[in-house]
Amino acid sequence: MNQRLNFFVFGITVLVTLSCKKEGCTDSQAENYNQEAKKDDGSCTYTPDPLLENDFTPPSGPDLTAPDLESPAYFRLLTATSADGLTFTTTGNVVTDQANVPDLIYKDDKLFLYYTGWNMGTTQNATSCAVSADNGQTWAFNHCNFTGFGAGIKPVDPDAILLENGNIRMFATTDISGKRCVLCYESTDGINFTFTDTAAYSSSDHIFDSNTFQLNGQWHMYAANAVNTEHWHLTSSNGINFSVQGSYIFADGTDQHFISNGYVTGSSYRIMSAFNPNQNLKSFTTADGVNWTIDTGYRLVFGGSSSEVSYLKDPAVVKLPDGTYLMVYTTRMI
């Protein structure tokens, strides 16, 4: 009899103890986290991430009033995915219209997609940043702010580097005395950039639309010049100030390619490229930043999506934490 009574009392004690556990928000990342709560009641609230709030609504379709047919007004950004960084399949997902020259960074569990956009709210023909917290499924659109070089300057052709300290170094194109050149900016939040120094300038020729990378301790930059398919090769010891070492033509036989952006793969660097009127995307690889080898096959073939109206160009690639690759590429809308 006493054993039955003791078991009954014990059971009641357990039920009372469990029912008396304090409820509340148990997520330490929430703004109303309660460290005394033992049971989550679904009441957690979170401070909105300003990077995931739209500064403007992205445009849809081309701006047929734009006078320059090569301006962002006539281009569209789409995404493609790959398991190995070599063979990509388009998703058919449009990131935004009226945009080109994309570049990708993965930082703080988010994708930062920089691009030159045409109509972005009240801002026109400037660099913006789309941010994604779900590996490119959805995007929030942010204006980028550039300070320190002069009022009204709107750098374009973004070329972004994630530094070891978590800052983002941005190389972007502007005009000095009638010559296009590359400026260097830096940011801690990925949106507000402060001028560091002029990265590359020549009084006798254009240097613009750069792609910059560090390989085996050496900084390299490849940038366009006045000759359409010829690229300047520049180097730097500090990753800020670059000097011209010569020029290079990225060629596949007689086809001369326009390069865009790339990514480190092992001890090498792979740079993405396009060749028109061929409508497909290819790539080149280097082990020293100087000598390049054309990779076999195509990275992405035109025609995989009905959203691709004309040729493909400007592919940007980033490796995601799960080991897969995301590409954002450009297609013409008319």
Cross-strand partners of 90: 80
Residue 17 scores a pLDDT above 90: no
Report, as an integer, the average pLDDT of 319-326. Answer: 97
Residues 173-193: b if buried by 16+ CB within 10 A, e if exposed: bbeeeebbbbbbbbbeebbeb
Q: What is the pLDDT of residue 221?
A: 98
Spatial CB neighbours of 143, under 8 Å, sequence gap ≥ 6: 55, 56, 120, 121, 123, 126, 128, 129, 191
User: Average per-residue pLDDT in the chain?
Assistant: 92
Residue 14 scores a pLDDT above 70: no
Q: What is the pLDDT of residue 7?
A: 44
The residue that leads in pLDDT, 76 or 45, is: 76
Q: What percent of the chain has pLDDT over 70?
A: 93
C-alpha 273 chain-centroid distance: 16
Report, as an integer, the average pLDDT of 182-211. Answer: 97
Q: pTM to 2 decimals?
A: 0.88
| Per-residue pLDDT tens over the stretch 194-205 | 999 999 999 999
Per-residue pLDDT band for 232 (boundaries 50, 70, 90) equals very high
Q: What is the pLDDT of residue 8?
A: 45
Count CB atoms within 10 A of the CB of residue 13: 10
- Record the tokens describing residue 71, joined without a space: 């301006």
Per-residue pLDDT band for 20 (boundaries 50, 70, 90) equals low
> Where do the domains of the chain lie, and which CATH numbers do they carry?
25-54 (no CATH), 62-332 (2.115.10.20)
Helix (H) or strand (E) holding 218: strand 218-224
